[in-house]
Amino acid sequence: MSPRLEGLLLPSIADVSVLSLDVSHEAVRIDLCSTAAGAACPDCGSESTRVHSSYLRFPADVPSGGRRVLLRLRVRRFFCPESSCARRTFAEQLPGLTRRHSRWTERLRSILAAVGLALAGRAGARMARAFGVPISRSAVLRLLEALPEPDVPAPRVVGVDEYATRKGRVYGTVLVDVESRRPVDLLPDRKASSLAAWLAKRPGIEIVCRDRAPFFAEGATTGAPQATQVADRWHLWHNLGEAAERAVTRHRQCLRVLLPDPEGKADEPAPPEEKAVDPTRLPHRLHLRRAFGPTGLYEDHSPCTRHGKRARTFQRFWLAICDTCTVGDLRRETRATEWVSGAVVGHHVGRSAP
């Protein structure tokens, strides 16, 4: 074959000669052989030109024009010249074309790895079969596992948070490069010692963005004493929202005083020695009774089941609309509050409203 055809079929691969080319409706078959004088032993690195035997390999290459490309490669086996080497014979490998125990060429292998990185196992296998390379999802995942770990530069600003492998039971630590917004590493637990050991290996960290957990604070202080510790934005807003909700719940009696009277006259407060009955509580009780229904909290008629809410959510709504009621009022022995307590608090144990 001409050197022009060899450069077209196998670019950037040296010491390879194309012997023949067969094109059919289904596949393109190319016969190849190596033109190198010898090969190096993979164990000791000694060059050898003494041929032991030869055999054929059939690696698959990148499809061309909708056809599969199959290589028929003649590979030689050499004797190792070093008597002290444990390997007596070895097979030659063509750089950029083959590797040991591989059924694909290097360029097809890199394409399949790129597909696996983009689509993972099952979807990657379907995409590979679409352009004519039959492969299983397990083989795609093995290609991904064989890829070398990328060299990730040490982050300057690192974010620390927890993640759950089993929610409520098993937690780990995730570390994120805040500037590039990409995860850097995963720790199997959320202990302060694990975080401190990870930070100590990276002295270039300047800022640690974390939540307010005490073990993260201890680990960041021990492992990166030179870094500035800040709270991340999500936890700041989350903690602020919880504090505002607690403050509003604690001072909900003041909200009714601030509301203007529709007739321009403020109601006179009841004497402290007498506990006045708020007439507005009756409509609330009737509204709740209509909302919960006379059937109580059976599974098919539970308002929590109908609306997809938990009992704690209904309890919070009840406390918000009732300006004089507290959590303790929901558990008192009066008829109305006992009904609300049974409906809102005790529905998980199968109790129905009286």
From the CA atom positions of the chain, what is the Rg in Å?
Answer: 37
- According to DSSP, the β-strands at 89-91 and 170-177 are unpaired
- Sign of the alpha-carbon dihedral angle for 206, 210, 216, 217: positive
Residue 309's pLDDT is 52
Of 352, 248, 262, 261, the residue nearest 299 (C-alpha):
352
pLDDT at 35: 86
How far is Cα 160 from Cα 338, in angstroms, rounded to an integer? 46
160: burial class by Cβ within 10 Å (0-12, 13-18, 19+)? Answer: buried
The DSSP string of 26-55 is: SEEEEEEEE--S-EE-TTT--EE--EEEEE
Could you report the per-residue pLDDT of 193-207, keeping only the tens digit for each? 999 999 999 888 999
Question: Would you state the pLDDT for residue 157?
Answer: 92
Q: Per the structure block, which two tokens stand in for 329? A: 């009022």
List C-alpha distances in Å: 153 to 150, 182, 206, 208, 268. Answer: 9, 12, 14, 16, 70
Token pair, residue 79, equals 């004797």
As a whole number of angstroms, the distance between CA 231 and CA 209 comes to 6
Low-confidence ranges of the chain (pLDDT < 50): 266, 274-277, 279-280, 293-302, 330-354
Burial of residue 347 (CB within 10 Å: 0-12, 13-18, 19+) is buried
DSSP 214-228: HHHHHHHHHH-TTSE
Instruction: Compute the distance between CA of residue 59 and CA of residue 94 in angstroms, rounded to an integer.
Output: 12
Query: What are the pLDDT digits (tens) for 10-51?
Result: 777 778 888 888 888 888 888 888 888 888 898 888 889 899
In the prediction, which pLDDT does 113 show? 92
Whether this model's pTM surpasses 0.85: no
Residue at 42: amino acid letter: P
3-state secondary structure 301-323: CCHHHHHCCCHHHHHHHHHHHCC
